[in-house]
Every structure is written in structure tokens, then in C-alpha cells.
């Protein structure tokens, strides 16, 4: 069997790039999706310095044509897709201290629509487009990059650490993504495919900001664990560092 093939959206930097490094170290061949092909190719070159196979695909998750192009790329070159990591996401004004979203009653509609388009609608569309190729894998894995801020249980608990971290557009988009994880995992429950949501943590990336408490190397661990789950691993779950989170 040839090496496993992984597609990481938004894989040219941050958590996505670090996840690519981790998967390459595990013997997985990685293709990273990047809106800017030059940045993607430079990231792939850096990955190849570690002596492993890596390539870049110009990819904007909000463009349906790019979804079809990705399908054609993996179908033509590999005939399957083993691992899909839906890493690309948008957090405009939606991480601590980043405003302008200050309350549920005042969230700008353009921010609500744009964040949902990237974090939910486009992820669902891409995954459903690539699913026929993932079904051809002997052990397909789908990892949806969520956030602890998508947990309705923790948001409703006055004693939780995120109780006061209310950013409706971003939080709700991740809650919706978690719902998709549950529904898709149920649909695929009789197949070898496993579908899980990952909370990487608050990580020092361009999106997470300099005040984040986790380094990028640690932020990639949850995605990597879920991408490489054994046959008896969980599906339809919500995890951080191997530990389940409440929905």
C-alpha cells in the first residue's frame, strides 16, 4: 500500500503547517491547500526539507470551483484521499480582544455571514465533495478544526472558563461544525471512516494572537492524533489533546 495521503486546508502556516510536519514524520504524504499558491509552494518546499513528500494546491475553501479542482487533483494523482483536515477558518473579530463583535444583539450581519460561510458552509461543501474519494481509503479520517468556544455546555455554565468569552458569529459557526461532525459520523458509522472535531487550544498563531497560551507545536497535536486514529479509535467525538470535550 502506498503512503497515506492527507489534504490540509490552510496548511501553509500556523497549526495547519505544524500538522503537516507531524503527519510527514508519521510517513504520510501531505498536500497543503493555500489561497496564495506561492506561499503554499514555499511552505511545501520547507516541508520537503524534512525528507518527505509534500506539495501545494492553490485552494480557497469559499470557492466551489476549487472544491472540484481538489477532487480532480486527488482522483487523478492518487485515486483516493485518506485524511482530510478541515483546518482553514476565519475568526474576524471573534477571538479574545479582537472585537468588533461585542454582543449577540449587535453582531454585524456581514461578519455573521462571512464567518459562517468559511467555517461551516464551505467546510460541509468541501467534505461532501471529497467524500467519494475518502470512501476509497481503507481507513479514512476527517478532522474538523473546531474550538472550545463551540461548546454550548461550557458557554451555558457560569463556572466554565469560557463563560464570559461570548463571540456569537465564531462560536456559533463552530457549534454548527460540531453538529455536522456528529451527523456525518453517524451516517458513516458502518464504514471505516472516522469523523471528529478537534479543539487545538488557544495557540500563538496569526489568528490566535500573541497572548495565546499554547505554542504551535502543541496546537497541532490534537489534529494529528485524530488524523492517525487506529481502527478502534473514536468517531463522532469532540477532543482536545486526546480528552473529550462537552458539546
DSSP 203: B
Domain of residue 156, residue span? 5-244
**pLDDT confidence bin for 102, thresholds 50/70/90:** low
For residue 232, what is the domain's CATH number? Answer: 3.40.50.720
Structural domain count of the chain = 1
**pLDDT confidence bin for 111, thresholds 50/70/90:** confident
Q: What is the DSSP secondary-structure string of 72-83?
A: HHHHHHTS--SE
Q: What is the pLDDT of residue 44?
A: 94
Q: What is the pLDDT of residue 95?
A: 40
Q: What is the pLDDT of residues 146-198, one digit of tens each?
A: 999 999 999 999 999 999 989 899 999 999 999 999 999 999 999 999 999 99
Percent of the chain with pLDDT over 70: 89
Within 8 A by CB and 6+ apart from 88, the residues are 9, 10, 16, 33, 61, 118
Strands 243-244 and 237-240: antiparallel
CA distances from 167 to 187, 206, 223, 247 (A): 30, 18, 23, 17
pLDDT, average across residues 4-16 = 93
Say whether the peptide bond before residue 112 is cis (omega within 30 degrees of 0): no
Q: Which range, of 94-98, 205-209, 223-227, averages the lowest pLDDT?
A: 94-98
**In the predicted model, what is the mean pLDDT of the chain?**
90
- pLDDT of 206 > 70? The answer is no
Q: What is the pLDDT of residue 93?
A: 52
The residue whose grid cell reads 460561510 is 117
Judge residue 117's burial from the number of C-beta atoms within 10 Å of its C-beta, 0-12 exposed, 13-18 middle, 19 or more buried. middle
**pLDDT confidence bin for 27, thresholds 50/70/90:** very high
Nearest to 115 by CA among 205, 17, 219, 207: 207
Q: Which range, of 46-50, 83-87, 125-129, 149-153, averages the lowest pLDDT?
A: 46-50
Q: What is the pLDDT of residue 203?
A: 54
Q: What is the pLDDT of residue 41?
A: 95
pLDDT, average across residues 128-142 = 98
- pLDDT of 1 > 60? The answer is no
Amino acid at each position: 500500500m502506498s503512503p497515506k495521503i492527507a489534504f490540509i486546508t490552510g496548511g501553509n502556516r500556523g497549526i495547519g503547517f505544524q500538522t503537516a510536519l507531524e503527519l510527514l514524520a508519521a510517513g504520510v504524504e501531505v498536500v497543503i491547500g493555500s489561497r496564495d499558491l506561492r506561499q503554499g509552494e514555499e511552505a511545501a518546499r520547507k516541508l520537503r526539507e524534512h525528507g518527505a513528500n509534500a506539495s501545494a494546491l492553490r485552494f480557497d475553501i469559499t470557492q466551489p470551483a476549487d472544491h472540484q479542482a481538489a477532487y480532480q487533483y486527488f482522483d487523478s494523482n492518487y485515486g483516493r484521499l485518506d485524511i482530510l483536515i478541515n483546518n482553514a477558518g476565519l475568526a474576524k473579530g471573534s477571538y479574545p480582544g479582537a472585537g468588533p463583535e461585542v454582543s449577540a444583539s449587535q453582531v454585524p450581519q456581514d461578519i455573521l455571514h462571512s464567518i459562517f460561510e468559511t467555517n461551516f458552509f464551505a467546510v460541509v461543501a468541501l467534505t461532501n465533495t471529497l467524500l467519494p474519494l475518502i470512501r476509497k481509503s481503507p481507513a479514512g479520517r476527517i478532522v474538523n478544526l473546531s474550538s472550545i468556544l463551540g461548546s454550548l455546555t461550557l458557554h451555558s455554565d457560569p463556572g466554565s472558563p469560557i463563560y464570559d468569552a461570548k463571540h456569537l458569529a465564531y462560536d456559533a459557526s463552530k457549534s454548527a461544525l460540531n453538529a455536522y461532525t456528529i451527523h456525518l459520523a453517524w451516517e458513516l458509522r458502518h464504514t471505516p471512516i472516522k469523523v471528529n472535531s478537534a479543539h487545538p487550544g488557544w495557540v500563538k498563531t496569526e489568528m490566535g494572537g500573541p497572548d495565546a497560551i499554547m505554542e504551535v507545536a502543541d496546537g497541532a497535536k490534537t489534529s494529528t492524533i485524530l488524523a492517525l486514529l487506529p481502527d478502534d479509535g473514536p468517531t463522532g467525538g469532540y477532543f482536545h489533546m486526546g480528552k473529550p470535550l462537552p458539546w
